[in-house]
Every structure is written in structure tokens, then in C-alpha cells.
């Protein structure tokens, strides 16, 4: 692991680090905010998964999460959204290939050699950060935006017992039924739709739900709301009687202005689960 940068931030340190990834067969970069409390011992962790076209940097710079995480004594991890570099498959479209890993393990060519993002976020990166930094593996929560909201929800439900809580901003909620999902899942996983179900938050909620609390926010003026399908997740949560708060925020769109507006709420939501759940 190499240190790309480290900056003082709200009493703690915002770092950027790179490492050679076995899962993705390329170098990967991630951001990590450590609050001041990490100097004295392991701290809880909130994972933030970003959306289409993003790198580790977008949320790290634009989401405004460090201020609220510092107040709660929580670390933030910002993984990249896909493998990158020479020799890594890509596509001319913004919503496939580099910047659009969709947090799945690709089985199809040309994606399979590098696009193993589920294993990277679920196994490889956690093993690295818990070894190298003062973090508490028993106290983890996860959030994300758009494609990252999809990833947060599916990882939370797909890894029972790992996360105390899950939240999402504008999550892609029912990808097996929408254009943001069917295109990527067929490209990465093939045409057998039975293999897609483990990466659809609505279907996973219907099947087994989540053991902790769920929070989502979506803007009523989100330009992609028809692709996100928040109503499908809401219906699944209601049918399952899932402990959840699924909010539609009047006037907000899909941007980081929206994310940063409600970031304090999300960090506080996770802090309650991490410290008191």
C-alpha cells in the first residue's frame, strides 16, 4: 500500500491510498477519513460507495461527510467504483465499464478478468484497511449514492451480520427491471436473469430483508427517478415490515448538492446504530 496524500481534516486525517488489487488485477485507489479518536484506538467505520462515472474522490470532496463523521468519531472509507488502467476493459458509454462496476463479480468477457468489485469491496479492501488502520471490524455501517446506493443495499443484505445499518441516496432500487441494471447485469453476469437476483435490492428485501435499520433519501425532482424505482423498494419494505425510513425529498435532484444536504442525517442515523444498536 502506498500513501498518495494525507491532509488534516476536522481534527483527523483525510488520506488517499493506492494498492495492488488481487481481485481486480490492477492498482486501486481509495480514500479514508480517520477521526481524531483513531489516535487512541479503533473507531467505527462507515463505507461510502459512489455512483456511475465516479472515482473515490467525488464523495470524498463533495459529500461533506467528514465534518459529521468527525463529530461522531466515525471513520469513512471511499472505495473506487471500478478497476482502471491500461488493459482494463472499457466501453464508450458512461454507464458500463470503467466508472461503472456496479459492485458485482463479472463472469462475462471482456469484463471478468478485472471487474470483481463485489470481492474487492466485500473482502479484499476490508482485509487491507482493518490490518493497516485503527478501525473496529465489529462496528461497520454502509451507505452510497445511485449505483453506490444499489451497492450499499445489496452488500448489506448479501453479507448478513456485517453491517449494523444501511442507508442510500437515490439508490438504483430494482435493477433487474430497469435500464440502469438490465444493461449492466446482462453485460457483466450474462443473460441468465436468475443470477441477477443477488444484486437487486428489491428482490433481496422481498427474500430476506436486513437485520438492522434502513434509511433512503430520493429527490422528487431527481431526473433519473424512473430508473431508480424507489417505489419498488418501498413496497418490498412495507410487505416485509422492514424497519426502514424511505423518504422522498421535495425539490431535490440527483446531484451532490442533494447528497451533502442530507449527509448529516445519514451519519447520525449510522452513529445511532453503531453506538447504540
Identify whether the C-beta of residue 47 lies closer than 8 Å to the C-beta of residue 30. no
Buried-state track 181-205, b at ≥16 Cβ within 10 A, e below 16: bebbbbbbbeeeeeebeebbbbbbb
The CB density around residue 121, as the number of other CB atoms within 10 Å, is: 26
Identify whether the C-beta of residue 210 lies closer than 8 Å to the C-beta of residue 124. no
Sign of CA dihedral 271, 65, 116, 195: positive
Buried-state track 127-159, b at ≥16 Cβ within 10 A, e below 16: ebbeeebebbeebbbbbbbbbbbbbbbbbbbbb
CA–CA separation, 18 and 30 (whole Å):
6
Supply the residues annotated as catalytic: 146, 222, 254
Identify whether the C-beta of residue 215 lies closer than 8 Å to the C-beta of residue 262. no
H-assigned helices in the chain: 57-62, 65-72, 117-119, 125-132, 147-158, 179-189, 201-207, 225-228, 230-240, 256-276
The single-letter DSSP state of residue 5 is E
The CB density around residue 110, as the number of other CB atoms within 10 Å, is: 14
Amino acid at each position: 500500500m502506498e500513501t498518495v496524500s494525507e491532509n488534516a481534516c476536522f481534527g483527523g486525517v483525510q488520506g488517499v491510498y493506492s494498492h495492488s488489487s488481487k481481485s481486480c488485477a490492477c492498482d486501486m485507489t481509495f480514500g479514508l477519513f480517520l477521526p481524531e479518536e483513531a489516535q487512541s484506538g479503533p473507531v467505527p467505520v462507515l463505507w461510502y460507495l459512489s455512483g456511475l462515472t465516479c472515482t473515490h474522490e467525488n464523495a470524498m470532496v463533495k459529500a461533506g461527510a467528514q465534518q459529521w463523521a468527525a463529530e461522531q468519531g466515525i471513520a469513512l472509507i471511499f472505495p473506487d467504483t471500478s478497476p482502471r488502467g491500461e488493459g482494463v476493459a472499457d466501453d464508450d458509454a458512461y454507464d458500463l465499464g470503467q466508472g461503472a462496476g456496479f459492485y458485482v463479480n463479472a463472469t462475462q468477457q471482456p469484463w471478468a478478468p478485472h471487474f470483481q468489485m463485489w470481492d474487492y469491496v466485500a473482502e479484499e479492501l476490508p482485509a487491507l484497511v482493518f490490518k493497516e488502520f485503527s478501525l473496529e471490524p465489529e462496528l461497520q455501517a454502509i451507505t452510497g449514492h445511485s449505483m453506490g446506493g444499489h451497492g450499499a443495499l445489496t452488500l448489506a443484505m448479501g453479507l448478513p451480520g456485517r453491517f449494523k445499518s444501511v442507508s442510500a441516496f437515490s439508490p438504483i432500487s430494482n435493477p433487474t427491471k430497469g435500464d440502469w441494471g438490465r444493461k449492466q447485469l446482462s453485460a457483466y453476469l450474462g443473460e441468465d436473469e436468475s443470477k441477477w437476483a443477488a444484486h437487486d435490492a428489491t428482490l433481496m428485501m422481498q427474500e430476506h430483508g436486513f437485520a438492522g435499520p434502513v434509511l433512503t433519501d430520493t429527490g422528487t425532482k431527481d431526473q433519473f427517478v424512473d430508473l431508480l424505482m424507489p417505489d419498488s423498494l418501498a413496497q418490498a419494505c412495507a410487505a416485509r415490515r422492514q424497519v426502514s425510513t424511505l423518504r422522498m425529498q421535495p425539490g431535490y435532484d440527483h446531484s451532490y448538492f442533494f447528497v451533502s444536504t442530507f449527509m448529516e442525517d445519514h451519519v447520525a442515523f449510522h452513529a445511532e446504530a453503531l453506538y447504540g444498536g
